[in-house]
Structure 1
Amino acid sequence: MTKWDSGKPIQDSPREAQVIANARTLATEHKLDPDDVAQLIAAQMEANKLVQYGLLAQWQAAGAAPDTPRPDLGKQIRPRLDELQKRLLQQYAAFAPYRQDPNCPAWLANVRNGLAADSLHDMALIRASGELCIRAKAL
């Protein structure tokens, strides 16, 4: 709702670059490849933007956003996102050994099934997890 209220664009390339740079730095703490982590975080941001664009379109069609309390971006949302990013990297480090398993895509599809409340959020989950599994290259 921050973007709705402020009128600022959803796309914030400088902020995204900063988040990815910070994630690359954290990658080494988790013994992860910084490029893999950059790809992971970029996918999460792209998924988030899909939801934001979808919600903005709904609110524009309705003429208003929901009348709910607005958390503060700097004081509440971003600190929570930073915390979630650390947890995401911990979980990704635990998951990394299974990325090349032939069953990985089926596992992810099974886990994703039923998580989303609607098609918009389902598409975001697909985008967020779309590059988690690594398919073996054909010889």
Structure 2
Amino acid sequence: MHNTTPTRRALTTLAVAAAVALGATGTAVAAPQAPAAQAATTTTATAADTYTLYSIADLADLAAQRLATADLVAAAKFGTSSPIDDPAREQQVLDSVAAQAVQLGADPDAVRKVFRDQIEANKLVQRGLFQRWTDHPDEAPTTRPDLSVVRVEINRINTELVKALAATATDRSGYVCYPELYIGAAQVRHERHLDRLHTEALFRALPSVCES
């Protein structure tokens, strides 16, 4: 049985308070480091096969990994005619992750909701960086990453995140999801030394993860 709304709010408040307390112990001034390539566990695993490989906290870390690519996407687009909003690409991503969810026996609509948040969080970072580089041209990137190469990494993380969502479906509908998720996000923020922009984006990426 799911918790009542007041209880859930209390748990979320406690989790966010823990996030703030943990974050205060570190100096959050740097953008996230680009994630190291990780070997995919399998491309044909079922939700049952992957269940023990992921925790709720892993979802926060994967969201942070995906956000790290926003810096590269922004650098690839800044100073060009490529817009931050790319509805065709966004729809392609949503359709792809929904199809992967079906293959894993997960709810494709729930996965779409999570990835819509991921996309919006990524664009939040891009807009923030565009503004920063416009206001401070000396901080603008001097090289332009190949967007097609960056998207290969994004697709890899997308696949990993879909598997993690499928594996944690039961936990994500439980009352402990919110505190575990936001405490996990606080830990990720601390370990990756996220600045204010990327911290805001990380929490923007997570609201649809828990289903209770």
TM (norm. structure 2) is 0.59
Are 2:203 and 1:130 equivalent residues in the alignment? no
| RMSD (CA atoms) | 1.4
Deviation track 1:25-67 (CA, whole Å, cap 9, x = no partner) reads 1111111111111111111111100100111110010025133
Q: Structure 2: which amino acid aligns with 1:35?
A: D
Structure-1 residue corresponding to 2:184:
111
What is the rounded CA distance, in whole Å, between the counterparts of 1:114 and 1:24 in structure 2? 29
Matches within 5 A, 1:30-69: 30-64=104-138, 65-67=140-142, 69=143
Higher relative contact order (CA 8 A, sep 6+): 2
**d(CA) in 2 for partners of 1:5 and 1:94?**
40
Alignment match of 1:88 (pick from 154, 161, 166): 161
Write the distance in 1 (CA, Å) between the matches of 2:177 and 2:152.
31
Q: Which residue of 1 aligns with 2:80?
A: 6
Q: Displacement of 1:115 after TM fit?
A: 2.5
CA shift for structure 1 position 2: 1.4
Q: Is the 8 A contact 1:115 1:122 kept in 2?
A: no
Q: d(CA) in 1 for partners of 2:199 and 2:107?
A: 28
- Runs of 4+ in structure 1 off by over 3 angstroms are none
- The unaligned stretches of length 5 or more in structure 2 are 1-74
State the AA in 1 paired with 2:87: S
120, 124, 135: which one pairs with 2:197? 120
* Distance in 2, Cα, partners of 1:28 & 1:40: 15
Using the TM superposition, give the Cα deviation of residue 114 of structure 1 relative to its aligned residue in structure 2, in angstroms. Answer: 4.3
CA contact (8 A) 1:27 1:89 kept: yes
Q: Structure 1 vs Structure 2: percent identity of aligned residues?
A: 35
For the residue of structure 1 that corresponds to 2:168, the secondary structure is helix
TM-score by length of 1: 0.88
Q: Indicate if the aligned counterparts of 1:20 and 1:41 stay in contact, CA closer than 8 A.
A: yes
User: What is the one-letter code of the residue matched to 1:104?
Assistant: C
SS, match of residue 40 in structure 1: helix
Contact kept? 2:101, 2:166, Cα under 8 Å: no
